Amino acid sequence: MNPAIGKTITLPADLLLYTELINPIKRLLSIVIASAVLLALFSTQSLATLELAKQNTEQIDKSAIRKLEQNASPLKSSEVLLAKIYQPGMDVRQFLVSEKFDGVRAVWNGQQFHSRAGNVINAPTWFTKGLPKTPLDGELWLARGKFEALSSAVRKDLPVDEEWRGITYLVFELPEATGIFQTRATRISEIVKKANLPQLKAVAQIRLNDEAALKAKLKQVVALGGEGLMLHKADAPYLTGRSDVLFKLKLRYDAEAKVVGHTPGRGKYKGKLGALEVVTPEGIHFKLGTGFSDAQRENPPKIGSMLTYSYLDKTKLGKPKFASFMRVRNEK
């Protein structure tokens, strides 16, 4: 019934049939259109997800490759030559003598630098460009009395160009090379000369006739701010580890120890560090109470950290005499 005119309208049978047919089709079309829209959205998101996953995978692969390249064949500390302490009475004429530089030990494997512990030292590209493909062993060095600045520069993951400008690589050994040391020293000079780079230098090796000349040379180096001397047996083959073919001579010696405890300070150091309780690799325990700045006493090296200390001599029991803190070892 139509209320406006008060009459009943009856639809024809064919129109009713058409309405019954078209309504399901409309619903089906609506479902199809909605499904298409959802599928398009899903596909777009899926493609974006797949692309992101691909990028992440590529980044992971590149990172893994870089890590493998960085860790390729480094020489560990046990695979480089380490010095013993010079003892009076040795035949000085058997050795080639050089200055002992207070730098950071660095092994060049032909592609990049590694520390004694085998960790990568990240040098600027311009610094390593042109360096020989021949493996080299030496020290990254800044200047006498500049160890802290040097250490800060070479320990950074991202090297700062300006901090590397004055650094040189001083070469004193050829890893795995044949022949006696005197021959290898000559070869080092030839390699450095051929490279002709300002940042690459061969450590000068000299002969001395006797212990008096050795002591005079030591005094000369120390007076100039140097650390001491190295004596490398001239006829020695290439060796690794701590060996009787290499000795160091200093007015004061240095060694490493592990921090195992803190002793509280007294008097003017009350509330601060009084001394560090340390143990050497040989198992010798002793306290280290001098050589600290006020800042270091307020914030002392953590228990478990490794440090370097200097000493004048050792007792019969192996304890260092007049030991003094130098620095915390901070290898990457």
d(CA 199, CA 123): 12
Q: 77-250 and 254-328: same fold?
A: no
State how far the alpha carbon of 205 is from the alpha carbons of 100, 103, 132, in Å: 11, 17, 21
pLDDT in tens, the chain (332 residues): 444 444 444 445 444 444 454 455 556 555 555 555 445 444 444 444 445 444 544 443 434 434 433 444 444 444 889 999 898 889 999 999 999 999 999 999 999 999 988 899 999 999 999 999 999 999 999 999 899 899 999 999 999 999 999 999 999 999 989 999 999 999 999 999 999 999 999 999 999 999 999 999 999 999 998 989 999 999 999 999 988 999 999 888 889 999 999 999 999 999 999 999 999 999 999 999 999 999 999 999 999 999 999 998 888 888 998 899 999 986 54
For residues 136 and 175, the answer to whether their CB atoms sit within 8 Å is: yes
d(CA 182, CA 238): 11
Catalytic hit among 26, 54, 84, 100? 100
d(CA 300, CA 265): 12
Q: Where are the domains of the chain?
A: 21-55, 77-250, 254-328
Is residue 276 within a helix (H) or strand (E), and if so which, with residue range?
Answer: strand 273-279
Question: Chain centroid to CA 100: how far?
Answer: 22
Could you say which of 3.10.510.20, 2.60.40.1180, 3.40.720.10, 2.40.50.140 is the CATH number of the domain covering 254-328? 2.40.50.140
The answer to whether residue 129 is catalytic is no
**219 phi and psi, to 5 degrees?**
-60, -40
Superfamily of domain 77-250: DNA ligase/mRNA capping enzyme (3.30.470.30)
